[in-house]
């Protein structure tokens, strides 16, 4: 009958659509795989030459010390600038490598006993020589003694580096405060600046990949630091949040359980 014919046509149409959807799905999956592979290979290959380059620059800088300054007045400054640029490229490549690890589930933690107070003090001390170059103000560190937990030291240093470099970069040259305190079985870490702040509509997006609240090229960056920071904090069973007001400054607060939920107690 006519009704049977229409039902058969409808079924055939739906079957064709299902086949099409399946093909599209497989193609999309393949495209994602190719993109991930590209990211992994490209970030690795682009990072590799930077290590010998950085070493050679250090050797050149040492040799340059014995040269007469009056004959080569700009050499030491130029070498320093090259070292900083190589360092910057290396950090960007590290961020891309981390993204590739996170995307492919290869992001792992190495847990050990860490004193968060010492870690924050050391991270801040490492930043001291860079404060001026980053356009930042005084670093004020307020940490009690000691606050020990089971965390990934290197990854926590990365969290501090990201939060401190942002606070100095966007801090308008005013003081940056880093504070650590304990709340029961939770360690709290706060980095506060009095800089440009973040617009309310951008606040919920800044922890996303490639999200930047400011578009000016003046502030370099890929918009990956806070995304990676959040992944690290969450992998340790913690949380990160931000309070900010434009032109008043920003406060980032990290809360970490003293023992991550996955580690044996
Ligand atoms: P980027 O490399 O661009 O700094 P992040 O992921 O670290 O990337 O930060 C994302 C965006 O969040 C930044 O581009 C900036 O717009 C905003 N941001 C982060 N930290 C601060 C801060 N302390 N003050 C103002 N804006 C900030």
- The pLDDT tens digits of the residues spanning 162-218 come to 999 999 999 999 999 999 999 999 999 999 999 999 999 999 899 998 777 665 556
Report the C-alpha gap between 12 and 114 in whole angstroms. Answer: 63
Please give the distance, rounded to the nearest whole angstrom, from the Cα atom of residue 236 to the centre of ligand 1: 22
Cβ distance 213 to 201 under 8 Å?
A: no
| Structural tokens at position 54 | 């950085």
CA-closest residue to ligand 1 atom 23: 167
Report the C-alpha gap between 144 and 129 in whole angstroms. Answer: 24
Please give the distance, rounded to the nearest whole angstrom, from the Cα atom of residue 225 to the centre of ligand 1: 8
CA-closest residue to ligand 1 atom 25: 197
CA-closest residue to ligand 1 atom 2: 221
Instruction: Write down the mean pLDDT value for the chain.
Output: 90
Over residues 232-249, the mean pLDDT reads: 96
Q: How much is the pLDDT for 216?
A: 54
Q: How far is CA 148 from CA 14, 156, 189, 191, in A?
A: 61, 13, 13, 19
Of the residues 171, 190, 198, which should be mutated to test ligand 1's pocket, given the most ligand atoms within 8 Å of the CB? 198
Among residues 191, 201, 145, the alpha carbon closest in space to that of 168 is found at 191
Please give the distance, rounded to the nearest whole angstrom, from the Cα atom of residue 8 to the centre of ligand 1: 57
Percent of the chain with pLDDT over 70: 95
Please give the distance, rounded to the nearest whole angstrom, from the Cα atom of residue 212 to the centre of ligand 1: 6
- Confidence category of residue 265, pLDDT binned at 50, 70, 90: very low
Over residues 74-89, the mean pLDDT reads: 90
CA-closest residue to ligand 1 atom 19: 166
- Confidence category of residue 255, pLDDT binned at 50, 70, 90: very high
List pocket residues of ligand 1, CB cut-off 6 Å. 162, 166-167, 170, 193, 195-198, 206, 211-214, 221-227, 250
CA-closest residue to ligand 1 atom 11: 212
pLDDT at 263 over 70: no
- Confidence category of residue 37, pLDDT binned at 50, 70, 90: confident
CA-closest residue to ligand 1 atom 1: 223
Residue whose structure tokens are 């973040």: 198
- Confidence category of residue 128, pLDDT binned at 50, 70, 90: confident
Among residues 187, 126, 110, 194, the alpha carbon closest in space to that of 161 is found at 126
pLDDT at 150 over 90: yes
């Amino acid at each position: 009958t006519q009704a049977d014919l229409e039902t058969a046509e409808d079924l055939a149409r739906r079957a064709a659509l299902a086949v099409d959807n399946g093909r599209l799905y497989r193609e999309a999956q393949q495209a994602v795989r190719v993109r991930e592979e590209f990211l992994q290979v490209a970030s690795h290959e682009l990072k590799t030459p930077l290590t010998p380059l950085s070493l050679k620059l250090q050797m050149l800088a040492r040799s340059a010390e014995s040269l007469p300054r009056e004959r080569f007045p700009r050499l030491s400054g130029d070498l320093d600038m090259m070292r900083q640029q190589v360092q910057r490229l290396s950090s960007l490549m590290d961020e891309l490598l981390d993204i590739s690890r996170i995307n492919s589930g290869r992001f792992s933690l190495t847990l050990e006993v860490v004193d968060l107070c010492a870690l924050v003090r050391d991270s801040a001390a490492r930043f001291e020589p860079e404060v001026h170059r980053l356009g930042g103000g005084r670093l004020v560190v307020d940490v009690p003694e000691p606050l020990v937990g089971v965390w990934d030291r290197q990854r926590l240093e990365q969290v501090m580096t990201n939060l401190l470099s942002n606070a100095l970069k966007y801090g308008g040259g005013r003081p940056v405060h880093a504070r650590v305190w304990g709340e029961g079985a939770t360690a709290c870490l706060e980095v506060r600046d009095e800089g440009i702040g973040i617009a309310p509509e951008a606040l919920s997006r800044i922890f996303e990949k490639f999200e930047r609240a400011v578009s000016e090229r003046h502030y370099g960056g890929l918009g990956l630091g806070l995304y990676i920071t959040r992944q690290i904090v969450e992998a340790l069973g913690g949380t990160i949040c931000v309070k900010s007001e434009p032109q008043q400054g920003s406060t980032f607060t990290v809360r970490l359980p003293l023992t991550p939920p996955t580690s044996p107690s």
